[in-house]
Structure 1
Amino acid sequence: MPIIKLNAIDSTNSYLRQLIVKENLEDFTAVIAEKQTDGRGQMGTVWESEAAKNLTFSVFKDITQQQLEYPFYISIVTSLALIQTLKSFSIPKLSVKWPNDILSENKKICGILIENVIKQNVVSASVIGIGLNVNQTAFNALPNASSLKEISGIVYDLDEVAYEVLKYLKKYFKILKKGRLKALKEEYEGHLFRKNKPSTFKDAEGLMFSGFIKHVTDSGMLQVLLEDDIVKAFDLKEITLLY
């Protein structure tokens, strides 16, 4: 399990993607940066992080042996690995805000960006980018953000947290390799933020509507119960959960 440590890089995901082209990487190779100058989040958002206080890293996962029909299970596995890691550090009231933001109570403490490498129309590898707020305590322009230290009052060893994440990633990818999709999805849905609670959403046109989160499809679409008992599935570009 090689770990590459960098002082600063534009994006650990971009760095790892370039390495994949040049080298045959060992499974679960991780790139950890003290500072990211151009960290990326879902849908082209920017991941803001104070240098040397948080975990900004990316993990290479070889998927060639997985026979993976639904790539969204990479997101499920990663989300569950983060949930279990944070439970091991006694972080309370954890949930997954679809598709893969990790919250403690209503505060975001972790973002995940998964970029798959496609060969011959099949996912052959995945670059799993993780931004975890660990020891940072000032989030001036981000009222919905928090960190492990802000929640617990404890200063954490970043290496220790990173090793724990990698340990649980290995555990959950083993479960995925065994084909236990139903168990993984049930565990993921059990942690879904605002599941079965009245919630407000915004669509791609900016219109707001109400509904109840019910399930997630194998392909990662969010199933929402709307008025008149209609269940509709939305993908990431179509809907935003407001909270």
Structure 2
Amino acid sequence: MYIIKLDAIDSTNSYLKGLTSVNLPKDFTVVVANHQTSGRGQMGTTWQTMDGKNLTVSVFKDIATLEVERQFYISMVVAIAICSALDKLKIPKLSIKWPNDILSANKKICGTLIENVVKQNQLKGSIIGFGLNVNQKYFEKLPKASSMSLITGIVYNKDEILSALLTELQTYFALLEAKSYSEIKSKYESLLFRKDKPSTFQNHNADTFSGIIKGVTDSGKLSIWTEDDIIKTFDLKEIALLY
């Protein structure tokens, strides 16, 4: 494992993408920034983080043996690994809000951004970025955000947290490399936020409907048992869970 520590950077994912444009980095090359000025989230959102309080990390993972159609398994592995590390650190009521936000109860404490490197229709590597709220105490205009410290009252050593996360990432990526797909999918679905509970969703037309989350497809679509007694699948851009 090769760890690059930076004081400040626009985005750790962008930094790693710059490296991959020249040559693919070594497997498990890790970039950690004390301060990230332009952190990015899913679908073009920004990730707000207070200077020095949180973990902003990107990891390069060699995934050349993974089939393109199974690339959502990378998201599953990352979400499971983060939950496993946080569970061992006694963070309570952990779940995964589809596709890969990590919640404690109903508060978001970690977001991820996964950008895959595909060349000639083959997966070559994955840039796994995550922002974990560690010691931040205030979140302006973000009522659904929290941090490890707010939840437990403990001030954490970020290097220790990073070590725990990287250990779990290695463990669960080993499962992926062993092609333990059913085990990974089962574990991911067991952690899904509001699985098997009546929930309200909003579609891309801003219409709301009720349904029950039943799981995900191999490609990462959310399977919902709808009011008309049919299980339908939805992509990330098609639906939002209201909670």
TM-score by length of structure 2 reads 0.98
One-letter code aligned to 1:103 = L
Letter in 1 for 2:51: A
Question: What's the secondary structure of 2:128's corresponding residue?
Answer: strand
Distance in 2 separating the partners of 1:234 and 1:29: 33
Residue type at the aligned position of 2:83: I
Q: How far did 1:140 drift?
A: 2.0
- Could you say which residue in structure 2 is the equivalent of 1:25? 25
Task: Tell me if the contact between 2:76 and 2:184 (Cα under 8 Å) persists in the aligned partners.
Answer: yes
Rounded to whole Å, the distance in 2 between the matches of 1:25 and 1:41 is 22
Alignment of 1:1-243 (within 5 A): 1-67=1-67, 69-243=69-243
Deviation per CA, 1:107-160, whole angstroms, max 9, x where unpaired?
000001000000111211000000000000101210000000000100111111
SS of residue matched to 1:155: coil
TM-score in terms of structure 1 length: 0.98
- CA distance in 1: counterparts of 2:216 and 2:230, whole angstroms: 15
Give identity over the alignment, percent. Answer: 57
Partner Cα separation in structure 2 for residue 15 and residue 94 of structure 1: 30
Taking the aligned partners of 2:235 and 2:68, their CA distance within structure 1 comes to 20
State the superposition RMSD in angstroms: 0.9
Helix, strand or coil: the match of 2:228?
Answer: helix
Q: Note the alpha carbon deviations across 1:50-73, whole angstroms, 9 max, x for none.
A: 010000010000111334541000
Query: Take 2:51 and 2:160, find their aligned partners in 1: how far apart are those partners?
Result: 17
Q: Once the two structures are superposed, what CA deviation does each residue of 1:61-116 show, in whole Å capped at 9, x if it has no partner?
A: 01113345410000000000000110111000000000000000000000010000
- Structure 2, unmatched stretches of 5+, are none
User: 1:25: how far off?
Assistant: 1.6
Q: Is the 8 A contact 2:12 2:58 kept in 1?
A: yes
> Runs of 4 or more off by more than 6 Å in structure 1?
none
- How far residue 7 of structure 1 moved from its aligned partner, in angstroms, is 0.8
Offset of 1:227 from its aligned partner? 1.3
Q: Distance in 2 between matches of 1:90 and 1:73?
A: 26
8 A Cα contact 2:29 2:61, kept in partner: yes
Residues in 1 aligned to 2:4 and 2:177: alpha-carbon distance in whole angstroms? 26
